[in-house]
Amino acid sequence: MQQFLLTCIQFLSLWYKRILELVYPKDCYFCHHPSGDDGYLCHNCLERLSLHRNPSCSRCGAESALTEGNDFICSDCLLHPPAFERAFIVARYDTAFRDLIQTFKYRKGLWLTHDLMRYLLATYQVRILEANITIDLLIPIPMQRTKLHSRGYNQAALLAKALAKEVHLPCLPHALKRINTGILSQTRLHRSERLSNAKAAYRLRKPKGLVGKTILLIDDVITTGATCNACAKLLKQAGAKAVYVLALARPFHP
């Protein structure tokens, strides 16, 4: 009986959502015309949104200013191989795509979660699955508690949960935790400072169930990869078989 009631509620909620969308169609984030879709980006603006990236490192995803092959590895990864197997990046963190992410991240643009998740989904389907990589579960990069209370949400966790639901995989949003190091954000730190701070900033909260698993770490923006590297080390110490990274964007530093 409870299952029947739950099914009825879900059915009514779906139809209520569809009726609202007919009465109040969603407007495109960029041109402010009806998007004509279930998201906030119309097809015209979606096509104009450049997701171009230069050839990138096959380990960390950092772009190169040179003409490189698909399998090149950057000097940083050759000298200091990351703990994760590979990072998959959707787009460069600039222009309109950066504005989308910043609205989602800093301006409480939770309504963009589905649109941004679709970019992750496309990369997951085209690059990860076609590379014959089998993911067992998703884990988002955690956020420091004081920052989480201030912002009200962890954008990486929202993306990870939405993507996990779409690809029918489990998501462990609390497997990792970010502890207080006295530094709220790494965005203003130099590379060496990022590496040092990231190493001290993360802990494994729930190590059970990770042994032998291939894990996909989810983040919105990767800068140096220090955070993902620190988290991947912890997961492998807990017995994870392999760790991959999927992120919306990474800045280009020629």
**In this predicted structure, what is the pLDDT of residue 1?**
52
Pairing of strands 202-204, 176-178: antiparallel
Domain extent listing, the chain: 55-250
**Confidence band, pLDDT 50/70/90 cuts, at residue 189:** low
Residue 177 pLDDT > 80, yes or no? yes
The DSSP line for 163-206 is HHHHHT--B-TTSEEEPP-S-S-STTS-HHHHHHHHHHHEEES-
Q: What is the pLDDT of residue 69?
A: 76
The single-letter code of the amino acid at 47 is E
Instruction: Give the CATH architecture of domain 55-250.
Output: 3-Layer(aba) Sandwich (3.40)
pLDDT for the residue numbered 17 = 47
pLDDT at 166 over 70: yes
What residues are paired with 247 via a beta bridge? 89, 219
The phi, psi pair for 237, rounded to 5°, reads -65, -25
Residue 108 neighbours by CB distance under 10 Å: 11
Predicted pLDDT at 46 = 80
Predicted local confidence at residue 22, as pLDDT: 46
Q: Tens of pLDDT along 148-162?
A: 888 999 999 999 999
| Nearest of 62, 171, 156, 175 to residue 117 by alpha carbon | 156
The edge-to-edge listing of strands for the beta sheet with 86-92 is 86-92, 242-250, 214-221, 137-140
Contacts (Cβ under 8 Å, ≥6 apart) of 126:
none
Total-model pTM: 0.85
Run of H or E residues at 219: strand 214-221
- Tokens 């690809």, residue? 167
Compare 213 and 1 and report the one with higher pLDDT: 213
Alpha-carbon gap, residue 178 to 66, rounded angstroms = 36
Q: Give φ, ψ of 135 to 5 degrees.
A: -90, 140
Give yes or no for a contact between 202 and 219, defined as CB atoms under 8 angstroms apart.
no
The answer on pLDDT for 2 being more than 60 is: no
What pLDDT is recorded for position 87? 98
pLDDT, tens only, 19-43: 444 444 578 888 888 887 668 888 8
Query: What's the rounded mean pLDDT across residues 40-65?
Result: 88
Tell me which amino acid residue 49 is: L
How far is the first Cα of the chain from the last one, in angstroms, to the nearest whole number? 61
pLDDT above 70 (res 219): yes
Q: CA 99 → CA 102, 103, 111, 149, distances in Å?
A: 5, 6, 14, 23
Q: Which two tokens stand for residue 198?
A: 């990231």
* DSSP structure class, residue 63: B
When pLDDT is cut at 50, 70 and 90, the band that residue 236 belongs to is very high
Task: Please enumerate in sequence order all residues whose Cβ is within 8 A of that of 172, keeping only pairs 6 or more positions apart, or say none.
Answer: 137, 138, 139, 206, 209
Rounded Cα distance, 2 and 89, in Å:
42
H or E, element range at 30? none
User: What is the structure's pLDDT at 5?
Assistant: 54
